[in-house]
A and B are shown apart, each in its own frame.
Chain A
Amino acid sequence: MRNIATLLFLGGLAFLLIVITGSLDFGAPPMRIGTQIQAATAGDVGTANIVTAVVLGYRGLDTLGELSILFAAATAGGLVLGSAAARARPDGGFILRAGADLMFPLLLIAGLYIVIHGHLTPGGGFQGGVILAAAFFLPLLARPGTTPGHRWLMWIEGLSGATFIVIGLLALYRGDAFLTPLFDHGTLGELVSGGSLPLLYLAVGLKVGAELAGLLMRLAQDDEVTS
């Protein structure tokens, strides 16, 4: 009985989605805002990657909200899991240790590159931040005995979050709207261009990286109740 009801529900859901998507014109969206943003990005913001312009320039407030949601999730995760005593896990083994040593600088460079070039090429603070988190988590997986630097991570996270907000407030102080790109946007396609957007993305990348690294470390810890 329950299965039949579920199947009916799923069929109805699929039907609804098909009806909705059937009314869309595939390959020819209306793009009421999109075309304007595409035309205005080069002059307004000056980033080559238009998605970055939307994420940080036009809808920077949404990104701040997203960061706070991520922060709340990571904090709640830490709160629920608690800080259990780190018990010695069996060692990661030679292959994992050597691999972690080899990968750490490469991951660091890849992550920083993706963060810093976020306004020119695909990528940015979120993607690069995740790679940075992986880079800092990998040695911990290889050597379970080492103590994770939670205090460090907390400072990085707090400072980068504060930087994001301070850059937004500076625009407010100058008389513009919150999070309006500061500075002069240089020539399109240069590394130093796009005004304050690269700085914002750097802050986002550091914050996301520190947050997720802390979350991963907390999840990797063992607790004494279960094992």
Chain B
Amino acid sequence: MTTQIGLVFFIAAIGLCVIGIGGIVLSRNLFRMVLALAIAEAGANLLLVLAGYRWDAVAPILSAGQMPAPMVDPVPQAMVLTAIVIGVGVQALALTLVVRVKQRYGTLDMQLARERMNAEIDATADVTPPRSQERPRGERPLPAPAGGAHD
């Protein structure tokens, strides 16, 4: 019984981690990357709390009077408490940066933003950008862009 519940929770934690990191890697939209980062964070926090869970224990709050039943490990919980709040700080900072990128380059697509940023840097430095990076010479058609299936 307890192992079954443990299995379910571990599936949840690992699933959230994998979905979140997959979203970060697969997605091209900067805003969706921030969302995926939040999911991965939640999965990691869940994994930490799971590591301190005791199935025969109660929540780590003393009641006045006697020393009762065994308790869940409080140390990972305190750690996760810290991690959640730091996570939201990091998220806010990332979002402000996303807002600035949108203001500067007018797009949320990571590759487009990077191209425009490189073009801007080249223009400032008076360098003609190398030609062969994106477009092959001759009449060969561009290969269909891999990835970006849903973004």
A77-B96 contact in complex given A37-B74, A51-B74, A55-B78, C-beta closer than 8 Å: yes
CB of B136 closer than 8 Å to a CB of A: no
The smallest C-beta distance from A117 to any residue of chain B, in angstroms, reads 12
Contact B60 A38 (CB under 8 A): yes
Contact A225 B92 (CB under 8 A): no
CB of B133 closer than 8 Å to a CB of A: no
Contact A26 B6 (CB under 8 A): yes
A81-B146 contact in complex given A48-B62, A54-B78, A126-B81, C-beta closer than 8 Å: no
Task: Tell me the nearest residue of chain A to B91, going by C-beta.
Answer: A73
> Which chain B residues in 103-124 approach chain A with CB under 8 Å?
103
Q: Count the B residues whose beta carbon is within 8 Å of the partner chain — how many?
A: 52
A contacts, CB < 8 Å to B: 1-3, 6, 9-10, 13-14, 17-18, 21, 24, 26-29, 31, 33-34, 37-39, 41-42, 48-51, 53-55, 59, 62-63, 66, 69-70, 72-74, 76-77, 80-81, 121-122, 126, 187-189, 208, 215, 219, 223, 225-226
Task: Sample 7 A-B pairs with CB under 8 A, ordered by A number.
Answer: A6-B26, A10-B25, A27-B54, A37-B74, A39-B67, A48-B61, A126-B81
B contacts, CB < 8 Å to A: 2-3, 6-7, 10, 13-14, 17-18, 21-22, 25-26, 47, 50-56, 59-64, 67, 71, 73-75, 77-78, 81-82, 85-86, 89-90, 92-93, 95-97, 99-100, 102-103, 146-147, 149
